[in-house]
Structure 1
Amino acid sequence: MDLKIFATIFATVFIAELGDKTQLSTMLFAADKDVSKWTVFFAAAAALIVATAIGVLAGSLLSEYINEKILNYIAGAGFIIIGCYTLYTA
């Protein structure tokens, strides 16, 4: 395992997840006194694992048919479009 790549991916995903709707909804579930905090933790962790697995599988499949550089451009353009849309609707 390449620790530099691991650290880069960890930091990127960690920063992206901070304060997003996933974390906020998890905090709301954890705030319920009748719900086990372990249940909230394991359910949220399992959901993130499954979502990540889908992303890894999709990326692996796409990279077989589309050049990595093109995928980077598509991803970058997608983020720019989402950002512009967010600014426009704000």
Structure 2
Amino acid sequence: MTPLFVIFITVFLAELGDKTQLATVLFAADGRHHPALVFAAASAALVLSAGLAVLLGMAAERWLTMIPLKLIAGLGFIAIGAWTVWEHFKG
């Protein structure tokens, strides 16, 4: 698999059902905005967000060379999941 395909599939699957996608669906379903405008604005926002993520990742790679970034990301996802489960049972 090419790196482009792997990155595309990973990000595409991560975005399915994400809050960003749901917000875009709501804007499109609202009827007050032309679908092309919703598509253009959502696309530009995702491109800018991805650009910032790449810049942050490049900076993190320079400053956090001692700690694997995948470990940091994994621990972050575990923490968010644990917090979500805690909030569910906390009531």
Same fold (TM over 0.5): yes
**When the two structures are aligned, how many residues end up with a matched partner?**
88
Structure 2: which 5+ residue stretches go unaligned? none
Post-superposition offset of 1:67 = 1.9
Post-superposition offset of 1:68 = 7.2
Deviations 1:11-51, CA, capped at 9 Å, x for gaps? 11111111111111111111122311000000000000011
AA in 2 matched with 1:5: P
What does residue 14 of structure 2 align with?
A: 16
| Aligned residues with identical type, % of pairs | 45
1:39 maps onto 2:37 in alignment: yes
What does residue 63 of structure 1 align with?
A: 61
Among 68, 72, 75, the alignment partner of 2:73 is 75
Post-superposition offset of 1:70 = 2.0
Distance 1:35 1:68, change over 3 A: farther
What does residue 51 of structure 1 align with?
A: 49
- Aligned pairs for 1:19-30 within 5 A: 19-30=17-28
CA distance in 2, matches of 1:60, 1:71: 11
Post-superposition offset of 1:69 = 5.3
Structure 1: which 5+ residue stretches go unaligned? none
Runs of 4+ residues deviating >4 angstroms? none
CA distance in 1, matches of 2:40, 2:64: 35
Distance 1:24 1:68, change over 3 A: farther
CA distance in 2, matches of 1:68, 1:30: 44
Deviations 1:57-87, CA, capped at 9 Å, x for gaps? 0000111122275222111111111111111
